[in-house]
Amino acid sequence: MSRIANKHASLGITADQYVIVHKYLFEAIVEVLGEAVTPEVAAAWDEVYWLMADTLIGLEADLYSASGVQAGDVWRRMVVGRRVLQSADTVTFILEPADGEPLPAYRPGQYVSVGVRLPDGARQIRQYSLVGAPSQSEWQISVKAVPAQTLPDGSASPAGEVSNHLYRNLFEGDEVSVSLPFGDLVLEDDDAPLLLVSAGIGCTPMIGMLNHLAATGDPRQVSVLHADRSPAQHAHRAELTELVQRMPFAVMHRWYEDLGTRAAGDTTHLGRADLSAVQIEPDTQVYLCGPLPFMLSVRETLMERQVPAEHIHYEVFGPDSWASAG
């Protein structure tokens, strides 16, 4: 529920909108199920709906209050100060407040929503993790342009709408609508050892956390594990190395499916991520982000190695099917 409430808050959802959703959801249920929706069935659905809605409305009210804004008042105009190509398909946007006012603080691991008007007139909103060091003057997000592809079952999957729109059309000086930061995958402020595990564009919350740890001189023991297709496709590759080198107690392992002509080494490996040789200290807190099959496989390995489930924190860059897949 906390995850949903955070996403709702980043979209500016307000209590009155639950009434609208209720109306159309229940009309749809009646249309699809017809006479099966007896008064008793309708009353039961109604009760469940409002049980969930009231919980979310309460959580969202707390999130708005913690951000110091009226319910739903989360959108800000930001200007692209710089854009930096991270890899062939991923670009970092350095965003500055259009009104020049200081930006609110955020917790490492949080994200913002970005709203864009697409050529067909539709307003679409997506979430992007904050990757930069803490700053009151700029926020940084990295966007991977999701390509069109043919899925293993032969069906076509179109190019991602918003990511490609941002990648192709957003340049220095352009304005964009960005929400305040939200998200419950946040780095806890304690001294437990950290294991940050990511694949592909799932590196972004980890880069945000590492930037925070490096900027604050945090003495925690940190192990960084990242898997990618190749060094050329690894977004934030050089920054990751530099951040790990800045932290006295950090180690890094990277796995690439294709190393080109480069040789594997002690910390750069050929193939898929393999955690069997990675040392995991007791009480380690794990942060995990990447494609769902990757995360499920890492979680299985961690649990085999006696890491308690409550020490494994994760972010899903899409519909959250983690729980049902687990």
Phi/psi of residue 30, each to 5°?
-65, -40
- Given the complex with ligand FAD, which of 7 and 299 has the nearer CB atom? 7
Looking at the Cβ atoms of 178 and 275, the one nearer to ligand FAD is: 178
Neighbour count for residue 76 (Cβ, 10 Å): 19
For 195, other C-beta atoms within 10 Å of its C-beta total: 25
- The number of helices, as runs of H, and strands, as runs of E, in the chain is 8, 14
Q: Minimal CA–CA distance to 221: which of 303, 128, 284? A: 284
Residue nearest to ligand FAD (CB): 160
Cβ proximity to ligand FAD: between 91 and 250 the closer is 91
Q: Output the smallest distance, CB 146 to ligand FAD, in A.
A: 4
Given a contact cutoff of 8 angstroms between Cβ atoms, the answer to whether 215 and 133 are in contact is: yes
Give me the least distance between CB of 119 and ligand FAD, in Å please: 13
Nearer to ligand FAD, 187 or 201 (CB): 201
Nearest-approach distance from CB 44 to ligand FAD, in angstroms? 31
Rounded CA-CA distance 42/44 in Å is 5
Binding site for ligand FAD (CB under 6 A): 111, 126-129, 142-144, 146, 157-158, 160-164, 183, 201, 204, 315, 317-318
Q: To the nearest whole angstrom, how small is the minimum distance from the Cβ of residue 2 to ligand FAD? A: 13
| CA distances in angstroms from 8 to 14, 111, 149, 183, 316, listed in the order given | 8, 12, 30, 10, 15
Q: Which residues are catalytic?
A: 18, 60
